């Protein structure tokens, strides 16, 4: 089973794809999509939609988990990322792929046993789980890997 984890954004969107075979988990890849800098939000959303459609068509995941947004202190950023997230959800639903969601707290708690863990702790845990030579950089990459990993564990199903 291929599982895709997505950490949404408007300038960068992180992805990780994991393959699960019985009790074995393999990190196939993680990467980022960058939108064109200083582009109007509506045009960034078009770029994101095209990129997500292509990504889903190429990798054909059976499940996709997208990080849920939580409100922080910058409402403008939160609204923009929310728009991007819904474009991502729309593209997933168009391809009839099972969609699930986790909050950052759920991701941290499932991987580190501490919902208040620091991003550096999550990065280190991901490095250990997948026996990576170095911690995944930047921290958003670890978020995407974590989302895919806990999906592979099927804790939220």
Closest CA to 81 of 99, 93, 66: 66
How many other CB atoms are there within 10 angstroms of residue 107's CB atom?
Answer: 27
User: What is the helix (H) or strand (E) element at residue 37, kind and residue range?
Assistant: none
In terms of residues, how long is the chain? Answer: 157
Which residues are annotated as catalytic? 7, 67, 140
The 8-class DSSP code of residue 50 comes to H
Give the SS3 label for residue 157: coil
């Amino acid at each position: 089973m291929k599982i895709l984890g997505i950490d949404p954004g408007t300038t960068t969107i992180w992805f990780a794809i994991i393959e699960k075979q019985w009790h074995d988990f393999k990190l196939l890849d993680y990467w980022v999509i960058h939108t064109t800098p200083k582009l109007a939000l509506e045009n960034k959303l078009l770029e994101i939609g095209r990129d997500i459609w292509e990504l889903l068509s190429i990798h054909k995941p059976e499940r996709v988990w997208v990080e849920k947004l939580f409100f922080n202190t910058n409402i403008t950023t939160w609204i923009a990322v929310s728009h991007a997230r819904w474009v991502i959800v729309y593209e997933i639903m168009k391809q009839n792929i099972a969609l699930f969601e986790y909050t950052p707290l759920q991701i941290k708690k499932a991987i580190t046993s501490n919902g208040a863990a620091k991003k550096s702790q999550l990065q280190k845990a991901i490095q250990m789980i997948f026996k990576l030579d170095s911690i995944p950089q930047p921290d958003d990459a670890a978020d995407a890997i974590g989302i895919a990993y806990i999906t592979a564990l099927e804790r939220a199903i």
